[in-house]
Amino acid sequence: MIPGLKRIETYVLARTLLAVVAALAVISSVIILIGFVDLSRSVGTRVDVNFLQIMGLDLLQAPAVILVLLPFTFLFGTLAAFVALNRRSELIAMRAAGVSAWRFIFPAAGAAFVIGVLSVTVLNPVAAALTQQFDKTRAALMQGYLQGSPNEKIWLREGDGRTQIVIRALKRDDVAGDVRLKGVSLFVYTLNKQGVLDFSRRIEADQALLSHGEWKLKGVKEATPGAEALHYDSLAIPSTLTGRAAVERFVKPDAIAFWNLPAAIDRMEQSGFSATTYRLRFQQLLATAPLFAAMSILAAAFSLRLMRLGGLAGLAGSGVALGFVLFFFNQMCGALGKAEVIAPFAAAWAPPVLALLSGFTLLCYTEDG
């Protein structure tokens, strides 16, 4: 028995966690199967890969998708557990003995909250690392297929209080933790006496390697206003970027670990780029634990109707439908937050707050009339 919980709460919590694990197993299996089919179509039909390579890619991308759909595991698992307890008349016996529904629902919600905290602080960094590895492995496999395709242009910006450098490149390669760019153009701006940034020079290079706080350029041509172009075999330009900071500009916010997001936000803003998507992602991760708890409370509230009154299946189905509505509402809020229509804080916290209010309202109506 869990310390601090009585036998009834421990029993209900154990049943709930068992059902959540079963729901997680089902959802994970479906995600892995769908991911395998999608990779077989998108990668397997374009390059020569075997079953193990496709499965390896699938297992690299699956954790991030599972974390996105994890709220559904608490919705489905808690709903299944409480419906089963209701069908066996165990909930009826508990409530007839004077045990309030609040007493055995809150331990399940608390467990969901704790698991939410662990998923953000522990599982999210692991999933982010696997997502980055998935992108690198997929790009390596598709390199031959995309060799003749036009390269996507890469843009970076860095600087300090007096100098700003805008970097454009055609291709990026990671070399032993460093960043290598090809087909590079650097546009350098300096602050004049009026406090305005003026264009000072343009540097073209065949390739640039970011290493030890500087850009090491090769095959360089430099042009300044009113002067002839200069050619160099190599040139070093001081940089305020680190390898991690530069790479983070190329990856999606979902591929950055929770612990690295605050630093990534600061670096983006210092470089003059918008950090809205990163702020939204950070707030969404902070709201994960309350969302898990809200889903558990909502599911339990939809399964407390007495069996003799009938309509339990319909009420449980309504809970599932409301869960999907909340999921799409969460996606819509995320889209509005990325478009800066609403603030990232509001976009991230509106779904869990709505789910909590819905669950508490229904629970109060069911339990206290």
Confidence class for position 94, pLDDT limits 50, 70, 90: confident
pLDDT higher than threshold 60 for residue 175: no
Least confident range of 155-159, 174-178, 253-257: 174-178
pLDDT higher than threshold 70 for residue 64: yes
pLDDT value, residue 243: 62
Listed by start position, the domains of the chain span 7-143+281-368, 154-276
In 40-123, alpha helices (H): 51-68, 70-87, 90-96, 101-118
The dihedral built from the CA positions of residue 112, 115, 120 and 124, taken in this order, carries a sign that is negative
Element (H, E) at 236: strand 230-238
pLDDT value, residue 176: 53
- Choose between 363 and 31: higher pLDDT: 31
3-state secondary structure (DSSP) of residue 154: strand
Rounded Cα gap, residues 13 and 179, in angstroms: 49
Rounded Cα gap, residues 313 and 298, in angstroms: 15
Confidence class for position 114, pLDDT limits 50, 70, 90: very high
State both tokens at 194: 């009026």
Greatest mean pLDDT among 46-55, 174-183, 187-196, 214-223 lies in 214-223
The dihedral built from the CA positions of residue 15, 19, 20 and 24, taken in this order, carries a sign that is positive
DSSP-derived letter for residue 44 is: I
- 321 strand-pairing partners: none
- Where do we find the tokens 């999921």? 327
From 150, 220, 205, 143, select the one nearest 174 (Cα to Cα).
143
Confidence class for position 99, pLDDT limits 50, 70, 90: confident
Q: What is the mean pLDDT of residues 181-201?
A: 85
pLDDT value, residue 311: 57
Least confident range of 68-72, 267-271, 298-302: 267-271
Rounded Cα gap, residues 71 and 331, in angstroms: 13
pLDDT higher than threshold 80 for residue 289: yes
- Choose between 69 and 226: higher pLDDT: 69
pLDDT value, residue 349: 95
From 51, 39, 105, select the one nearest 362 (Cα to Cα).
105
Rounded Cα gap, residues 175 and 227, in angstroms: 35
Rounded Cα gap, residues 134 and 140, in angstroms: 10
Q: What is the mean pLDDT of the chain?
A: 82
pLDDT higher than threshold 80 for residue 2: no
- Residue 270 has phi, psi (to 5 degrees) of -65, -30
User: At residue 249, what is the residue type?
Assistant: R
pLDDT higher than threshold 60 for residue 49: yes
Angle at 118 between CA 115 and CA 123, to 5 degrees: 115
Q: What is the mean pLDDT of residues 336-355?
A: 91
pLDDT higher than threshold 80 for residue 4: no
pLDDT value, residue 173: 65
pLDDT value, residue 280: 92
State both tokens at 323: 């869960």
pLDDT value, residue 265: 84
Condensed to tens digits (0 to 9), the pLDDT of residues 5-34 reads: 578 788 888 999 999 999 999 999 999 999
3-state secondary structure (DSSP) of residue 353: helix
